Amino acid sequence: MISEKQMHTAIVIKATGSCYTLHDLASKATVEARLRGKLRLSGSRSTSPVVVGDIVDYEPEVLTGDQASTVSADDASNKNEIQSNETASETTVGEDRSIASAQLSSDKAETEALGSGAPAAPATRMTGTIVALHPRRNYIIRRASNLSKESHIIAANIDRAFLVVSLVYPTTNNEFIDRFLVTAEAYHIPVTILLNKSDLYNTPELEQQRDAFIATYTHAGYDVIEMAAARGDMLQFWAGRDFGDGSSRSGRACGLEVGVSVGEGLDPLRKLLRGNVNLLSGNSGVGKSTLIRAIDPTLDVRVGEVSDVHHKGKHTTTFSEMYPLEDGGWLIDTPGIKGFGLIDLEGAEIARYFPELFHLAPQCAYYNCTHTHEPGCAVKQALERGEVSPSRYESYLKLLEDDEKYRR
């Protein structure tokens, strides 16, 4: 084994328990790595303090001959452990969101160094030890389902998130959608909503639900792309409302046009993905894996089926993984998420992450209005006029209740 002491920088493209796959930013080589013990224990009770999308420094080692074969055998033996432990990857509450916000522009140059993302094929197998983690410019985080004081970072250093939802088979709950959007807003991650399985909305009732859904979320400022991933079609692009706040929430800045015709294919979506680190998230069964294969058929992504019994998806993705795209950029596939508990947010600041509520807040009679009971509340007045979605307002109230519950 030849040990090279110089430090290399890489991005984490797979995080599976105690094992990590890295993409070296300079050589484009793929590196199998583990954490140095001190880093694993430094200031965290996390079983996995490093996540997909993280920029890390590592000390490389070059394996040749029998050594490479031994590592390959070890990797194969770890796969069962990896898949069973991935969902338990948690990180301690307390990562400062203000630090993440401050890093939004400073670390962008590192991910731009990814280029097309296509890994090189080195003549020897590379392994290494992760010794340092660069500051994250943002991340998607949720409260762990089993421990209220623990959290799980899904991915980091994201340029744009795509939330895949469905109105049927399975139905995505509005509260889940709103919780994801609030988290993305808090960490300055623009979100595009992908309304999948639109080819199944073939009854008057479902068409009405579709129209109401699109109206709700475009009014809240989010772009909605109506699509049928199984057919490889992007059916319609609906632009989110512009609040004039200078946010990059909308895909219009990327050249997408409102009213893409039926049968357009996925080229407009590929254009939006190009050159970025993109996160794809959603419940199991909504079509994430199907969509990835439609975007780039060369990617080896497993596709599952929805249960005929309870109409919910079966997990086909068991850990987060970042895939290079042919047109440039990366796409992070995440495991299906059942719930999305918020963490590290104060009750008083939740309203600012509902763009349509934050836009109305200056018109309230009281500067510290909670939009629940105060007289002269512009939000409640807009709700009564039908200018604020009842489902979005209800999600806001539930998040306030959650904040009180976890503080008791």
Most confident of 115-129, 170-184, 245-259: 170-184
Which structure tokens are listed for 263? 């049968």
- Note whether 175 and 309 are same-domain residues: yes
* Secondary structure of residue 400 in the 3-state scheme: helix
pLDDT at 232: 87
Question: DSSP label at 364?
Answer: S
Residues 72 and 205 in one domain: no
Report the number of distinct structural domains present in the chain. 3
pLDDT given for residue 341 in this prediction: 66
Domain with 66 in it:
2-133
The answer to whether position 253 is within a domain reads: yes
- Domain identity same for 328 and 353: no
HSE toward the beta carbon, residue 158, CA cutoff 13 A: 31
Q: Where are the alpha helices (DSSP H) in 19-117?
A: 37-41, 66-85, 97-102, 108-112
Q: What is the CATH number of the domain that holds 183?
A: 3.40.50.300
Contact 320, 377 (CB under 8 A): no
Q: Both 51 and 176 in a single domain?
A: no
Q: What CATH number has the domain bearing residue 364?
A: 1.10.40.50
What distances in angstroms separate CA 171 from CA 60, 86, 209, 253, 390, one per listed residue? 46, 25, 11, 30, 18
Q: How confident is the model at residue 351 (pLDDT cuts 50, 70, 90)?
A: very high
- The pLDDT value given to residue 209: 95
- One-letter amino acid of 129: T
Q: pLDDT: is 69 or 90 the higher one?
A: 69
Spatial separation of the C-alpha atoms in residues 117 and 159, rounded to whole Å: 15
Containing 5, the helix (H) or strand (E) segment is none
Q: What is d(CA 299, CA 333) in angstroms, rounded to the nearest whole number?
A: 11
Q: What is the pLDDT of residues 125-176, one digit of tens each?
A: 689 999 999 999 999 987 765 545 667 889 999 999 999 999 998 999 999 9
Calpha distance 150→146 (Å, rounded): 8
**Amino acid 245: pLDDT:** 66
258 inside domain: yes
Q: Tell me, what's the pLDDT at 298?
A: 85
Place of tokens 């909605």: 224
Please check whether residue 109 lies inside any domain of the structure: yes
The pLDDT of residue 4 is above 50 = no
DSSP 46-64: -S----TT-EEEEEEEEE-
- 20 close to 36: Cβ distance less than 8 angstroms: no
Domain final residue, candidates 274, 304, 333: 333
Percent of residues, the chain, with pLDDT higher than 70: 66
Same domain, 229 and 300: yes
The answer as to whether 143 is a domain residue is no
Same domain, 90 and 167: no
pLDDT band (50, 70, 90) for residue 242:
confident
Mean pLDDT of the chain: 78
Do residues 232 and 265 make contact, with C-beta atoms less than 8 angstroms apart? yes
User: Is pLDDT above 80 for 29?
Assistant: yes
Q: If you average pLDDT over each of 60-69, 288-297, 303-312, 361-370, which comes out highest?
A: 361-370
- Please report which confidence band the pLDDT of residue 194 belongs to, taking 50, 70 and 90 as the band edges: very high
- The reply to whether 340 falls in a domain is no
A 10 A CB-CB count for 240 gives 23
Which span out of 242-251, 296-305, 349-358 was modeled with the highest average pLDDT? 349-358
The rounded distance, in Å, linking the Cα atoms of 343 and 341 is 7
Measured CA to CA, the distance from residue 395 to residue 408 in angstroms comes to 20
Assess if residue 144 is contained within a domain: no
Residue 341, beta-bridge partner list: 143
Instruction: Please report whether residue 338 resides in a domain.
Output: no
Q: Does 59 or 305 have the greater pLDDT score? A: 59
Rg (CA), the chain: 22
Residues 260 and 319 in one domain: yes
Residue written as tokens 């969902």?
87
Give the other-Cβ count within 10 Å of 211's Cβ: 11
As a whole number, mean pLDDT of residues 211-221 equals 95
pLDDT of residue 256: 62
**53 lies in the same domain as 171:** no
Last-in-domain residue among 305, 333, 361 = 333
Confidence class for position 17, pLDDT limits 50, 70, 90: confident
Confidence check: pLDDT of 205 > 90: yes
Please give the pLDDT value at position 77: 44
Q: Which residue has the higher pLDDT, 13 or 298?
A: 13
At 255 the pLDDT is 55
Which of 80-89, 142-151, 185-194 bottoms out in mean pLDDT, i.e. has the lowest?
80-89
Identify which of 47, 55, 3 has the alpha carbon closest to the alpha carbon of residue 26. Answer: 55
| Segment of 77-91, 256-270, 293-307, 353-367 carrying the highest mean pLDDT | 353-367
Establish if 342 belongs to a structural domain.
no
Same domain, 289 and 323: yes
Instruction: Give dist(CA 340, CA 199) in Å, integer.
Output: 27
* Residue 269 clears pLDDT 70, i.e. is over it: yes
The pLDDT of residue 121 is: 46
Asked if residue 217 and residue 186 are part of one domain, the reply reads yes
Same domain, 165 and 80: no
Number of C-beta neighbours around residue 149 at 10 A: 13
- Which of 333, 367, 388 is the last residue in one of the domains? 333
Work out the pLDDT band at 178, boundaries 50, 70, 90.
Answer: very high
Locus of tokens 């074969």: 69
Task: Tell whether 362 and 231 lie within a shared domain.
Answer: no
| 240 pLDDT above the threshold of 60 | yes
Question: pLDDT confidence of 234, banded at 50, 70, 90?
Answer: confident
- If one compares 283 and 98, the residue with the highest pLDDT of the two is 283
User: Which CATH number do you get for residue 90?
Assistant: 2.40.50.140
